[in-house]
């Protein structure tokens, strides 16, 4: 997998690609209800024969006039959120974008590091007119790529692949993020597949019902992305407390099996049982990074030992060794595609064993777990120790895999004589 080929020395502030649905995600009404309601049909000319994609949209001035006549000046909601709360349940108001959602997407457009793409099963010209009514300027609209994907199965997956290729034509050597916001579980899962097949990108894909996108969590997720990319945990440990706590919560999220993913595609009624977690760690796929690994290591330590973990700088291992071990902990903890072909208990045992390499809790059972882990790594990716591991840790795990004796001096390097 290309995950293991990532150059950790080149990590910097990521470029963020947002793949967003429109109806039911940005607006308060899901797609089918949108294209069949009375107000929507008023925006088109003619007899409206055939499907809505064949209808002729009125000119921009007429459309804007219809919106203003039907809903008034939208600016009042931006200036007075209480007015929105009073009116939002009125007829047809589900067609509109809540003020907090407008502000979130506008804030993303202010960030030159973010690219916003709307992939809709509605009409692109309609989406643009709705955005105009909500105060998006011509300059802002030029920054938004709006694509009508049609109604074919897998259409969003194909468009997602195309957009990612246009945005990042080469394999990434720096951390990049894709944020998928879509109320349709089927479309969301198909775009997630596109990102995973690409293999070199980090992924955030929150689960939510129509009209329930939590923009506060969206903002916090974006801030955390930037924090993870810009901070150096070994140099600025104080900046990592928030990220560590989120990664710790994320570690508890259930991993979907293939059968569960298939079930999700046929049932979009509700999110998963992990909804109590911050969404940006609830369903996240991460390319390994030293910063995220440090956070995961901190959380694993606190759960696997009854004593407090030693300071990151107190370990005998040099920084390169520690980062290599943390990278491996991270990769193992995040893997969702049965890369190491193990059940949950075996995975946790191996994470715990790796964590104990950084503590004074290393024991015989850890030795056995690392031996099994080393065999998995060498079987799936024989060259892993060249890119993912430092030479010293790579050599040690290779000897575990080969069943060769690890002498007391080597053990003491990793366990301070406690093995």
DSSP string across 388-416 = TS-HHHHHHHHHHHHT----HHHHHHHHT
Structure confidence at residue 263 as a pLDDT band (50, 70, 90) = very low
pTM for the model: 0.58
**Quick check: helix, strand or coil at residue 202?**
strand
pLDDT > 50? residue 343: yes
How many Å apart are CA 359 and CA 308, to the nearest integer? 10
| Structure tokens given for 203 | 């992924």
* Residue-level pLDDT at 15: 79
Distance CA 180, CA 206 (A): 7
Picking from 109, 101, 95, 118, the residue whose alpha carbon sits closest to that of residue 20 is 118
User: Quick one: angle between helices 258-266 and 185-198, nearest 10?
Assistant: 140
Please write the tens of the pLDDT for every residue from 372-386: 777 666 665 555 444
Residue 90 has pLDDT above 60, yes or no: yes
pLDDT > 90: percent of the chain: 36
- Residues 160/166, Cβ–Cβ less than 8 Å: no
- The per-residue pLDDT for 404 is 55
Distance, in Å, from the CA atom of 217 to the CA atom of 90, rounded to the nearest integer, reads: 26
Residue 182 has pLDDT above 90, yes or no: yes
The CA distance from 161 to 164, in Å, is 5
Closest by Cα among 78, 118, 120 to 97: 78
Strands 114-120, 202-204: pairing kind: unpaired
Average pLDDT of span 1-26: 61
User: For residue 267, what pLDDT band results from cuts at 50, 70 and 90?
Assistant: very low
Q: What does the alpha-carbon distance between residue 54 and residue 261 come to, in Å, rounded to a whole number?
A: 34
Give 359's contacts (C-beta < 8 A, 6+ positions apart).
301, 305, 309, 310
Q: In what order do the strands lie in the sheet with 16-20?
A: 144-148, 114-120, 16-20, 177-181, 202-204, 284-285
Token readout for 150 is 């049609």
pLDDT at 292 over 80: no
């Amino acid at each position: 997998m290309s995950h293991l080929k990532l150059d950790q020395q080149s990590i910097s502030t990521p470029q963020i690609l947002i793949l967003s649905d429109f109806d039911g995600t940005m607006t308060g009404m899901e797609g089918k209800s949108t294209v069949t309601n009375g107000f929507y049909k008023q925006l088109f000319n003619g007899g409206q024969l055939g499907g809505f994609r064949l209808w002729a949209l009125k000119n921009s001035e007429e459309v804007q006039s219809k919106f203003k006549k039907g809903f008034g000046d939208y600016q009042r909601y931006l200036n007075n959120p209480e007015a929105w709360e009073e009116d939002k349940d009125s007829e047809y108001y589900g067609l509109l974008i809540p003020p907090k959602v407008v502000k979130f997407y506008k804030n993303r457009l202010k960030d030159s590091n973010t690219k916003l793409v709307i992939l809709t099963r509605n009409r692109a010209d309609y989406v643009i007119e709705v955005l105009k009514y909500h105060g998006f300027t011509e300059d802002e609209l030029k920054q938004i790529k709006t694509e009508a994907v049609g109604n074919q199965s897998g259409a969003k997956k194909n468009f997602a692949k195309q957009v990612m290729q246009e945005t990042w034509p080469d394999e990434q050597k720096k951390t990049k993020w894709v944020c998928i916001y879509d109320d349709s579980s089927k479309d969301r899962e198909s775009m997630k597949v596109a990102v995973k097949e690409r293999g070199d990108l980090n992924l955030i894909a929150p689960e939510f019902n129509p009209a329930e996108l939590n923009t506060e969590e969206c903002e916090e997720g974006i801030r955390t992305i930037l924090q993870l990319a810009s901070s150096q945990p070994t140099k600025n440990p104080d900046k990592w407390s928030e990220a560590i706590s989120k990664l710790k919560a994320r570690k508890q999220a259930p991993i979907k099996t293939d059968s569960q993913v298939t079930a999700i595609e046929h049932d979009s009624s509700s999110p998963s049982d992990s909804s109590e977690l911050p969404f940006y760690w609830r369903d996240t796929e991460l390319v390994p990074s030293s910063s995220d690994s440090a956070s995961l290591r901190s959380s694993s330590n606190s759960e696997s030992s009854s004593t407090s973990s030693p300071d990151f700088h107190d370990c005998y291992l040099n920084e390169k060794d520690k980062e290599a071990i943390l990278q491996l902990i991270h990769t193992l903890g995040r893997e969702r595609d049965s890369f190491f072909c193990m059940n949950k208990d075996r995975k946790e045992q191996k994470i715990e064993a790796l964590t104990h390499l950084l503590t004074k809790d290393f024991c015989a059972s850890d030795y056995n777990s690392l031996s099994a882990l080393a065999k998995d790594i060498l079987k799936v990716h024989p060259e892993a120790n060249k890119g993912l591991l430092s030479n010293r840790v790579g050599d040690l795990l290779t000897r575990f895999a080969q069943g060769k004796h690890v002498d007391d001096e080597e053990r003491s390097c990793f366990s301070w004589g406690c093995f």
